[in-house]
Amino acid sequence: MVISALHRKLGRDLRRLWAQALAIALVLASGVATLVLGQGAVASLSDTRAQYYAQNRFADVFAEVTRAPRAILGEIEAIEGVLAAEARIVRLGRPDLPEMAEPGALLVVSLPGEGRPGGGLNLLHLRQGRLPDPLAEHEVAISADFAAAHRLRPGTSFDVVLNGRRHAVTVTGIALSPEFIYALAPGEMMPDPARFGILWMPRAPLEAAFDMKGAFSSVAVRLAPGAAQTRVIAALDRILAPYGGTGATGREDQTSHAFLDAELQQLRAMVQVLPPIFLLVAAMLVHTVLSRLIALEREQIGLLKALGYGRREIAAHYLGFVAVIALIGIALGFAAGAWLGAGLARLYAQFFSFPFLVFSRDPQVYALAGLITLAAALGGAVKAVRSVIALPPAVAMAPPAPPVYRRLSGWGAGPPLRQSSRMVWRHLAHWPGRTAGSCLGVVMAVAILVAAFWSEGSIAAMISATFQRAERQDAQLSFVADAAPAALHAARALPGVLVAEPFRAAPVRISNGPRAKRLAITGRPATAQLSRVLAPDLRPMPMPEDGLILSEALAEALALRPGDLATVDFLDGRRLTRQIRVSGISLGYVGLGAAMEIGALDRAMGDGPRLSGVDLALDPAQMPAFFTAVKATPELGALSLKARTLTRFRATLAQNITVMTSVFATLAGIIAVGVVYNFARIALSEQGRELASLRVLGFTRAEVAGVLFAELAVVVACAQPLGWLIGHGIGRAMAAAFSSDLYRVPFVMGREVYATASLIVCGAAFLSALAIRGRLNRLDLIGVLKTRE
């Protein structure tokens, strides 16, 4: 095969400029990897969830009820748009395992599809063993995470406390459910599989344990394609209202699904922010390197034109040079994106209970990433290639005019400096476009690092406000059902209890015109000390006598301000509707919050004083005795421990932050090295004659290197403030994108973030300088000083 002269020249150019080409390819690879990683993770979670939901018949609407007869199930199924409905028994139980010093909880659910020919809804996916026999009262299936935490296997037996009575059960299967991909215990912020799990058992023993013969406490509904969900929910609420229904909700408000949606929202935000930055910097690098290459090859271009090569052939040659670099970067990006994606899939598998989770390798994602990257690289080369086409042969064969440094004042002259510093200043000022482009690359490296590290301060602020200022209790006891005020005295009598404060949680729908949110209003004592409501300035807010305090997120969602009237539909008790004035806006980082003084809440509900639970301050020395007493008092309900919640919160976020900041720091380092190294190589090529002249005049190698490195230092130093500013903006935008109804991420940026980002970029610049120093030491003084005639 005959290789054309231009192809041979292309190979020589790539070998000669391999280091610069590799630096550009790595920047392109970073953009490709981020795009593949982000899009692949979004596709992976979305496709896995959709497939899992479809295979296991995940419901579209859920409703809880105090006690409803199964006879009304036919009425529910007759609602227009309902494809299938399943009545279930769902109650809290307590596991009695020897190794559990701290009381835990189990959400006990009747077996899905029991006795139904269609197979039911929210079907289980077996990991081990088999499903319980519907006729066997002591057989159960257990959720996989809880089983792993306690080493439970098929055949293991243990006791479960149901409605105050102990039941011996035997595990027949380890299972997963689309309803509990992200399983949270009542009152918890983070999953804790060691203290909370799901237990599926036949209906008969549950009916006997909770006096639910011929009744149900929960219903799941699957909608027909195109059905109007709001109409189905309204009809379902009308049917269930007489039986203590607390309001039906759509899939979007189901806890597990909502957490997955929040994760997808964060991933989409990452895809929108990071890849464009990498591709912008790569396009700038391509333009800079190619412009310099063309300037150095003016004579060769003129000879090629004189020998008969057309403008298109020469332009295609240089575009091919860029295309080869881009293809190398795309290939590296594909490999890195697939590797990082597989690791991300494993990370997701730790937090979400999927039966399968494979990182998506959709060809469309790879094709999109490749095409966008190739277009960015070629776009950066277009202007430089135009200059190739515009050069006539006679002009191209002549050396370019030397730069003119004749101005003694203004920008070109610069401030009064020593001679070597003046050389640096005037060289940077003579090519302001190239200098600005190099600064922009370093700016983006700093900005990415600032945007990566901002979350540490934000998480610390979130933890401080939530767990140290607002929630100061050691434990929270949630009763099985709302209790009389005497339950507070029983809680205070438990061993180790120093302070006990009551609370009431009332399920409501708060609306303002067409805007509405379903949540729970928490009633607190007017002078609560353990669980407090904080103002935006972090000061505790006293509970007003008759007003409603909304969290910032809820107030924004409902467009309410202090003084406005909110419509509150109580979904429990007497199901009243009240107009309540908003008396204040509180700070809230977790969920949508609404609070009232507990007496005012009782009056608004019209059913007298009731308690949903108590917040407790405990004596650490008597913790074991307290746990023993709680285990012996089943009616006290679920126990949430703040210290354990905080530990899980920190551990989960710390792992996420470590992974993300490591990836960001690596990618930003690649940008910094790519930009600074290319800038230094170009500066060395352009100033070879001047630097060699200094060596001949007696300057040492260190002094000559100092001239070149001073240029690098100026570029890196000038980039820092703008990088901080842009990174600040990116971080603020990411905080806004990450916020949802589940979490509201505060934006806190400390000085240490800027310092860390700058140190990493300066370290990358130092490594680039070391690589250039070797070339300076090998500078051919005679060859460089030769003058073309």
Quick: pLDDT tens for 33-75: 888 887 887 888 888 888 899 999 999 999 999 899 999 999 9
Which pLDDT score is estimated for 232? 94
Q: Are 218 and 90 in contact (CB under 8 A)?
A: yes
Burial status of residue 187 (CB atoms within 10 A of its CB: 0-12, 13-18, 19 or more): middle
Q: State the Cα–Cα distance between residues 690 and 687, nearest whole angstrom.
A: 5
Strands annotated E in 130-202: 139-143, 157-162, 165-176, 196-201
Where do the structural domains in the chain lie, given as residue ranges?
17-55+249-401, 63-81+222-248, 90-211, 412-472+642-789, 497-618
Q: Are 121 and 113 in contact (CB under 8 A)?
A: yes
Coil, helix or strand for 433?
helix
Backbone angles phi, psi at 104, to 5 degrees: -115, -170
| Span 119-155, pLDDT tens digits | 689 999 999 999 999 888 899 999 999 999 999 999 9
Residue 115, sorted as left (phi over 0), alpha (psi -120 to 50) or beta, turns out to be left
| pTM of structure | 0.79
Residue with tokens 């997808």: 264
Q: State the Cα–Cα distance between residues 526 and 599, nearest whole angstrom.
A: 9
Q: Are 82 and 121 in contact (CB under 8 A)?
A: no
Q: Which helix or strand (DSSP H or E) is residue 426 part of?
A: helix 419-430
What's the mean per-residue pLDDT of the chain? 83
| Span 410-466, pLDDT tens digits | 444 445 556 666 767 776 776 677 777 778 778 888 888 888 787 778 888 888 888
Burial status of residue 541 (CB atoms within 10 A of its CB: 0-12, 13-18, 19 or more): middle
| Span 275-311, pLDDT tens digits | 777 777 777 767 777 776 676 676 777 777 777 777 7
Coil, helix or strand for 307?
coil
Indicate if the alpha-carbon torsion angle 512, 517, 521, 527 is positive or negative: negative
Among the listed residues 504, 505, 472, 466, the one whose alpha carbon sits nearest the alpha carbon of residue 588: 466
Q: Has residue 409 got a pLDDT over 50?
A: no
Among the listed residues 426, 430, 436, the one whose alpha carbon sits nearest the alpha carbon of residue 287: 436
Q: State the Cα–Cα distance between residues 142 and 660, nearest whole angstrom.
A: 33
139-166: burial string, b at 16+ Cβ within 10 Å, e else: bbbbbbbbbebbebebebebebbbbeee
Q: State the Cα–Cα distance between residues 185 and 175, nearest whole angstrom.
A: 18
Average pLDDT over residues 164-188: 89
Which pLDDT score is estimated for 9? 80
- Partnered with residue 516 across adjacent β-strands are 511
Q: Are 192 and 185 in contact (CB under 8 A)?
A: yes
Which pLDDT score is estimated for 396? 59
Which pLDDT score is estimated for 412? 46
Of 83-92, 219-228, 696-705, 752-761, give the lowest mean pLDDT range: 696-705
* Residue 154 token pair: 């098929």
Q: Which helix or strand (DSSP H or E) is residue 283 part of?
A: helix 255-296
**What does DSSP assign to residue 195?**
T
pLDDT-based confidence at residue 84 (cuts at 50, 70, 90): very high
Q: Are 446 and 716 in contact (CB under 8 A)?
A: no
More confident residue, 540 or 774: 540
Q: Has residue 729 got a pLDDT over 50?
A: yes
- Identity of the residue numbered 339: W
Average pLDDT over residues 373-391: 76
* Residue 647 token pair: 């530990």
